[in-house]
A and B are shown apart, each in its own frame.
Chain A
């Protein structure tokens, strides 16, 4: 889909995001670089934002827009969860994102991946790209660097991989994208969400897998 809008001024979160759906756990993976065109405002941004105990979102697009939406959804989901007196569904969280992103689609630049674990459907990944569509996928990538790894993900993802295989896959994917995309870089943040909780990891620049072509 061709984006013909001129990007709005302000800080742009550009980067690669790729949660991979895996039963029972779900690794989320992000690289960190917040860029104000040529200047990197924050080289260690955490774009993996917790929305609830076992629900995370990966943010891409405008930093201000995605932070604001994430804050709103965190509040709405927390309230909903207290009303129900049970942990919320990932689908609910994704729908809350979709509601905000679709209603204000003209004003927002936000591409979000919602991922988490719940009792009903286990590990899930929902994609809410710019425009406010909502679709559940086993694997998803997003951000400016995602274009470089569609092929990699398509060919390397197999259903029913183990947790470690998934973590390796997402780390490799993000590293490859960081190598090619000027707006992505810094560190790689991984999160693995399962019934037992969330495991967060950071891969620093010098620990990244090396893929130099020359």
Chain B
């Protein structure tokens, strides 16, 4: 089956231009009932990096509804526990609710065990829940925190697979952000360097991906302290209008003025109270 198709492809490459290659591919795929994979627009850039003393999570602040920006300054870094935070890409409701559920369960778990919660525990809970829903909960998460075993960073995909890595990116802007990471990441960075790296990675997502935009939020988690910096960088401030189309009073000169009084008397007065209960 594939061999036969191969011949057709080669013929079409030779006879057509490279530009129409995708169209050809789509056509061939459609004929057999397959459609080319659609670009997964999760409309976000989120990322995390492990540095010398802890982890830094970063996120943009644009929430999109199709092609419209629904929220210019939404918060994508969610609280899980005092030492663990989670960035969420994908369906906003899913990321919000999932992180809240796990945060709640983790607090109960911590009270039962009498210990500070571990990032691996949060990871297990999240992956088991997402796997149970077989990808229908569209939550792609970057989970980071510091516990008794040091700093940890996980990326969690909607189908329930996880990766434990020193640097991760998720969302539609993840390729732009990952390019920055792959270029400049070094193990055991200092806090300021790491913050700059995360800021630049999110900025790459904001300026090169249409689904991401507005400001850059940062969350620095170390053993002793937590810095939730919102916004860390107002990369997209609204501009100041330099001109005005309103005509000033006096543009049109008044030639004559005549006033006619309308004699009206009050006939009926009713008051409708607002229901403010």
Contacts and interface: CB of A to CB of B under 8 A. Distances in A.
A63 B161 contact: yes
A11 B175 contact: no
A135 to B, nearest CB: 27
* Interface size classification for chain B: 10 to 19
B131 to A, nearest CB: 5
Interface string B210-253: 00000000000000000000000000000000000000000000
- Taking each of B34, B135, B159, which has the highest tally of chain A beta carbons within 10 Å of its own beta carbon? B159
A67 B127 contact: yes
Contacts of A6: 34
Contacts, number: 50
B163 A68 contact: no
Contacts of B157: 10-11, 41, 63-64
Contacts of A68: 127-128, 131, 160
A62 interface: yes
Contacts of A101: none
Interface in B120-172: 124, 127-128, 130-131, 134-135, 155, 157-163, 165
A44 B182 CA distance: 13
A45 interface: yes
Contacts of B163: 34, 41-42, 45
A9 B135 contact: yes
A10 B134 CA distance: 10
Nearest to A10: B159
Contacts of B135: 9-10, 64
Contacts of B37: 9, 37
Nearest to A63: B161
A62 B175 contact: no
Q: Which DSSP category, helix, strand, loop or mixed, fits chain A's interface?
A: mixed
Interface string B18-54: 0000000000000000100100000000000000000
B34 A10 contact: no
A211 interface: no
A37 B40 CA distance: 11
Contacts of A62: 159, 161
Contact of B131 (A34, A42, A64): A64
Contact of A39 (B128, B134, B155, B175): B175
Contacts of A45: 163
B159 A11 contact: yes
A64 B34 contact: no
A194 B165 CA distance: 29
Interface string B174-192: 0100000000000000000
B58 to A, nearest CB: 18
A126 to B, nearest CB: 23
A10 B122 CA distance: 21
Interface string A89-118: 000000000000000000100000000000
B187 to A, nearest CB: 13
A37 B34 CA distance: 15
Nearest to B135: A10
28 contacts: A6-B34, A9-B37, A10-B135, A10-B157, A10-B158, A10-B159, A11-B157, A11-B159, A11-B161, A39-B175, A41-B155, A41-B163, A45-B163, A63-B157, A63-B161, A64-B127, A64-B130, A64-B135, A64-B160, A64-B161, A65-B159, A67-B127, A67-B131, A67-B161, A68-B131, A71-B124, A71-B128, A107-B134
